[in-house]
Amino acid sequence: MGRMMQGAMEDWADMLRAYGMKATPQRLAVAGRVLGRPRHVTPQGVLDELRREYPALSLNTVYQTLQRFAAHGLLRELEAGGRVWFDSRTEPHDHAICSVCHRIEDVLAAPESVPPALQGWRIESESRVWRGVCPSCRRAGG
Amino acid sequence: MGRMMQGAMEDWADMLRAYGMKATPQRLAVAGRVLGRPRHVTPQGVLDELRREYPALSLNTVYQTLQRFAAHGLLRELEAGGRVWFDSRTEPHDHAICSVCHRIEDVLAAPESVPPALQGWRIESESRVWRGVCPSCRRAGG
DNA sequence: CTCGCTGCAAACACTTTGCATATCT
DNA sequence: AGATATGCAAAGTGTTTGCAGCGAG
């Protein structure tokens, strides 16, 4: 993402309004942190990152903002490790979760067909998750 | 499972001891309810089922028992809908979750190979989950 | 008898809700 | 001005922990 910060912020403001959301400073801050490059974040994590810049930002607002973004398809919501995560990569893809550092990594694998056992279902989404130890944690002696 | 209850209970007791676990009435009750036929249960759900028979049974004990079973490979642990589930089907398989009735159904699909993007990982487990509306909820107007 | 297990209750972690105030348009 | 968003705090859920007493081996 080569855009300058100021330009990007303006983009976010316009985009929020295009989706019928008010462009508040809090939402712009969250958008600037989360959207535009692939990331996996939790609400608490976003709050921690933004607290220095926005001391009054509340966890509640972060939750609502992320959920609103997800509802508009700007983020994908997923759960892992008993937490909710929001993934800014919107194209279909899968995930690998490290059981040591708990980070989530995108896996761009070939899509596969829905198995015949699911005849009669109306499928809304599919997800594949691998769990294991990531290369850097293996090196560190995982 | 055509066995008689008493016989099955004895089997569980022997199995528990074989795994180094004491064969307490609570564990036998949980084993009898959960093991031996394919089921997806939550700790609270198991407690609800057993409360009539074991009024003093505690949620804590159910948690510990299910986790102990999972640690020995008698159950598979998975999370969905912000809850922990224990799956008594131990062979590799996938899951479909109904977004209306929230039930989890087993999907016996052909296994697939680990994508090349995961080179360098030590893979511990793989899971595929489809979300959608199950046939009976569709019929009911989902 | 001994060690492990159970049950109770409190502690935890994460998420949601209610409402008065502040802010965007 | 009007509608919506924010922040605070409290309530809700689900899970884990601590510990005295109990019970299986």
Give me the pLDDT at residue A41, please.
97
| Contact, B60 CB vs strand C, < 7 Å | yes
Query: Vertex A12, ends A10 and A16: CA angle to 5°?
Result: 120
Task: Name the stretches of chain A with pLDDT < 50.
Answer: 1-7
- Calculate the angstrom distance between C1' of D23 and CA of B83: 32
Contact B30, B50 (CB under 8 A): yes
> What does the pLDDT average to over B112-140?
93
| CA nearest to A83, candidates B63, B82, B141 | B82
**φ, ψ of residue A107 in degrees (nearest 5):** -125, 115
Q: What is the pLDDT of residues A22-52, one digit of tens each?
A: 999 999 999 999 999 999 999 999 999 999 9
The CA–CA distances, whole Å, from A7 to A12, A28, B59, B134 equal: 9, 12, 54, 46
Q: What's the rounded mean pLDDT across residues B80-99?
A: 94
pLDDT of residue B8: 56
Identify whether the C-beta of residue B32 lies closer than 8 Å to the C-beta of residue B5: yes
List chain C nucleotides near protein: any atom < 7 Å from a Cβ: 4-9, 14-18, 23-25
Output the pTM of the full model: 0.89
Secondary structure of residue A15 in the 3-state scheme: helix
Per-residue confidence (pLDDT) for residue B142, from 0 to 100: 65
**A80 to B79: CB separation less than 8 angstroms, yes or no:** yes
* Distance between B138 CA and the closest CA of chain A, angstroms: 8
A22 strand C contact, CB < 7 Å: yes
- Residue numbers of B between 79 and 118 with CB closer than 8 Å to A: 79-80, 82, 94, 96, 99, 107-110, 112, 114-115, 117-118
Mean pLDDT of chain B: 91
pLDDT in tens, B22-67: 999 999 999 999 999 999 999 999 999 999 999 999 999 999 999 9
Task: Give the Cβ contact number of residue B70 at 10 Å.
Answer: 16
pLDDT in the model for residue B1? 41
Residue A51 CA and nucleotide C23 C1' are separated, in Å, by: 20
For testing contact with chain B, the best of A98, A130, A134, A136 (most B CBs within 10 A): A130
Are B89 and B38 in contact by the 8 Å Cβ rule? The answer is yes
Residues of chain B contacting residue A128, judged by C-beta atoms under 8 Å apart:
126-129
Strand C lies under 7 A from the Cβ of residue B136: no
**Cβ of A118 and B96 within 8 Å?**
yes
Q: What integer pLDDT is reported at residue A137 of this predicted model?
A: 94
- Strands B104-107 and B94-98: what pairing? antiparallel
For A97, nearest residue in chain B (alpha carbons): B123
Task: Tell me the CB-side half-sphere exposure of residue B31, using CA atoms within 13 A.
Answer: 25
Find out whether B84 and B46 touch, Cβ atoms under 8 Å: no
